[in-house]
Amino acid sequence: MKIFLDTANVDSIKKYNDMGLVDGITTNPTLLSREKGNPAEIMRQIVKIVKGPVSLEVVGTTAEEMLEEAHRLKKYGPNVVVKIPMIADGLKAVKKLKSEGIETNVTLVFSANQAILAAKAGAAYVSPFIGRLDDAGQDGMALIREIVQIFKNYEFGTNVLVASVRHPLHVIDAGKIGAHVVTLPPEILGKMLTHPLTDKGLSAFLSDWEKVKKENPNLAI
């Protein structure tokens, strides 16, 4: 399972990238709007920090606008994946970009039908938003199960990228289903990293070791 960070926050990206946990990044206009500074500069920095794929999203809504933006974004670095909304013009842009060797991530996917069409158009990734489906009273993870099964049945080369992840259990469920990628807000990756029993256990080890040191003042390990 690949782990991407779903953020445009450079400090968080550096923090988890230094631990070897970041296989890639996904951003979107909302995530960029939360950061201070020039968004173009932020995107350039992210593309340099992370070796893996970095999804940068277009904001145009016609195929022509999306293609123009895609070509500009692709100049940020070879690892840029162009994020395209799941609309008819978006799929037209996906097909053209695929023919040019440019990878795309089709975003705002909310049904298995949309995922099939994005894959047929040539997307490298499809991004079903499971948390937003859960929020709307639908079962987001059931959608992942459907898409993974359909893609397996027909050996589609498109990666299922689980987006809009809300908690660590989503990650475990996505892994059990066999989704290729989960993209996580940094807070969720932080939650996956910690466990109260780890902290309690470490604290006991350290205090017991203090006792050992008191009994062996010259001890060095």
Looking at the annotation, which residues are catalytic? 83
7 binds ligand G3P (CB under 6 A): no
Question: Which pair of structure tokens corresponds to residue 184?
Answer: 């996580």
**Phi/psi zone of residue 202: left (φ > 0), alpha (ψ -120 to 50 degrees), beta?**
alpha
Stretch that binds ligand G3P, among 16-24, 93-101, 128-136, 196-204 (CB under 6 A): 128-136
Which lies closer to ligand G3P via its Cβ, residue 17 or residue 105?
105
| Helix, strand, coil share (%) of the chain residues, nearest 5 | 50, 15, 30
Structure tokens at 70: 């895609």
Task: Give the HSE-up count for residue 109: Cα atoms under 13 Å, Cβ half-sphere.
Answer: 30
| Closest-CA residue to 42 (of 102, 53, 31, 192) | 31
CB of 176: closest distance to ligand G3P in angstroms?
Answer: 20
Segment contacting ligand G3P by CB under 6 A, of 36-44, 98-106, 129-137, 171-179: 129-137
Q: Does 26 bind ligand G3P (CB under 6 A)?
A: yes
User: Which of 94, 162 has the CB closer to ligand G3P?
Assistant: 162
**CA–CA dist 44, 67 (Å, integer):** 19
Return the residue of 163, 171, 179, 181 that touches ligand G3P, per CB under 6 A. Answer: 163
Interface size with ligand G3P, residues (CB under 6 A) = 9
By CB under 6 A, is residue 158 in contact with ligand G3P?
Answer: no
| Torsion from C-alpha of 3, 135, 81, 179, nearest 10 degrees | 40
Interaction of residue 168 with ligand G3P, rule CB under 6 A: no
Contact residues toward ligand G3P (CB under 6 A) are 6, 26, 28, 129, 131-132, 163-164, 183
